[in-house]
Amino acid sequence: MSCPENFTGIITGASSGIGECFARELAKNNYNLLLIARREEKLEQLAMELEDLYDIATEVFPADLGKTEDINRVVEKIKNTESIYFLVNNAGFATRGSFVDVDSDKHKEMISVHITASTLITHAVLLSMLERKEGVIINVASISGLIKNRGSPNYASTKAYMIKFSEMLALEMKRTNIKVQALCPGYTHTEFHSVRDFEGFNKNAIPSFLWMKSEDVVSKSIRSLRKNKVIVVTGRKNKFFVWIVNSKIFGKLIVRIMFGKR
């Protein structure tokens, strides 16, 4: 995990939650940082704090990954950045309500942030990583991408893409020292459920034992890199939930309880 030379780590969605936590972890391990998200002030604050704490260089790159022109700007920036060792495709958001109730522009934005941006940023970063044949790519997906569950079909499907994409890319990278991981958290305390789309969402309705801290999600991800695990589900309860929902015997019953009998 510790940074071999003066390498750079790139994190999308670094302005809060899991992304901010990854930034802190990489800074602690001497990575220079390229921090990407829309809220420039939050990125600037974090960058200043981390430069004060550690002997690293940081760069803030405000971008809306829901917009093609901004993804292109990020890709260009990456092509002009040297010694990239670590990428975390973490930017993401969810929606509330049924698929048809959500505006089609929101669906388009989600596909752009989760799928298009992650894919094109990974492509750009690999050009640099493959020169040295070493590096780390973490795609922050979700347990939603592994199970049938109530909630946004678009969210679950875009996260399933990130998981499959990571799995296949890891196979392609097998002869290199480039590690690829699909990190699949469950409920995690961040700003994720506090954004405008989640107004009125009652976090307390979800049992407290199901929630994790973003620090624990990030440390599980980092520990799993050593084991070369590609799909990483955080927390025992989430692992059990994924197992039981996908099991032949209990799966059907659970889906029937959640969605009703057809």
Ligand X SMILES: NC(=O)c1ccc[n+]([C@@H]2O[C@H](COP(=O)([O-])OP(=O)(O)OC[C@H]3O[C@@H](n4cnc5c(N)ncnc54)[C@H](OP(=O)(O)O)[C@@H]3O)[C@@H](O)[C@H]2O)c1
Smallest distance, ligand X to C-beta of residue 94, A: 6
Q: How far apart are CA 211 and CA 202, in angstroms?
A: 13
Q: What is the spatial distance between Cα 5 and Cα 63, in angstroms, rounded to a whole number?
A: 27
DSSP code at position 58: E
- Tokens (6 digits) for 261: 């009998």
Dihedral sign computed on CA atoms, order 40, 53, 122, 239: negative
Q: Rank residues 93 and 243 by Cβ distance to ligand X and give the closer one.
A: 93
Q: Build a one-symbol-per-residue string for 55-74: x at contacts with ligand X by CB under 6 A, - elsewhere.
A: ---------xxx--------
Please report, for residues 24, 33, 46, 47, 170, the alpha-carbon distance to residue 52 in angstroms, rounded to integers and kept in the order given: 12, 13, 10, 9, 36
Q: Is 16 a binder of ligand X (CB under 6 A)? A: yes
Question: Is residue 135 a contact residue for ligand X (CB under 6 A)?
Answer: no
Give the nearer residue to ligand X in terms of CB position, either 132 or 239. Answer: 239
Position 122 contacts ligand X (CB under 6 A): no
Residue 121 makes contact with ligand X by CB under 6 A: no
* Contact pattern for ligand X over residues 137 through 156, marking x by CB under 6 A: ---x-x--------------
Select from 49-57, 123-131, 184-192, 240-248 the region that touches ligand X (CB under 6 A): 184-192
**One-letter amino acid of 68:** T
User: Contact with ligand X (CB under 6 A): which of 93, 198, 201, 243?
Assistant: 93
What is the separation, in whole angstroms, between the first and last Cα of the chain? Answer: 49
Q: Binding pattern to ligand X, positions 37-56, x when CB under 6 A?
A: xxx--x--------------
Decide: is 13 part of the binding site for ligand X (CB under 6 A): yes
18 contacts 217 by C-beta, under 8 angstroms: yes
Q: How far apart are CA 146 and CA 192, in angstroms?
A: 19
* Structure tokens, 231: 């799909």
**Which positions are catalytic?**
155
Q: How far is the CB of 191 from ligand X (least distance, A)?
A: 4
Nearer to ligand X, 40 or 134 (CB): 40
Residue type, 200: G
Kindly tell me which residue out of 8, 15, 32, 181 binds ligand X, with binding defined by CB under 6 A: 15
Q: How far apart are CA 116 and CA 127, in angstroms?
A: 17
By CB under 6 A, name the binding residues for ligand X. Answer: 13-19, 37-39, 42, 64-66, 90-93, 113, 140, 142, 185, 187-188, 190-192
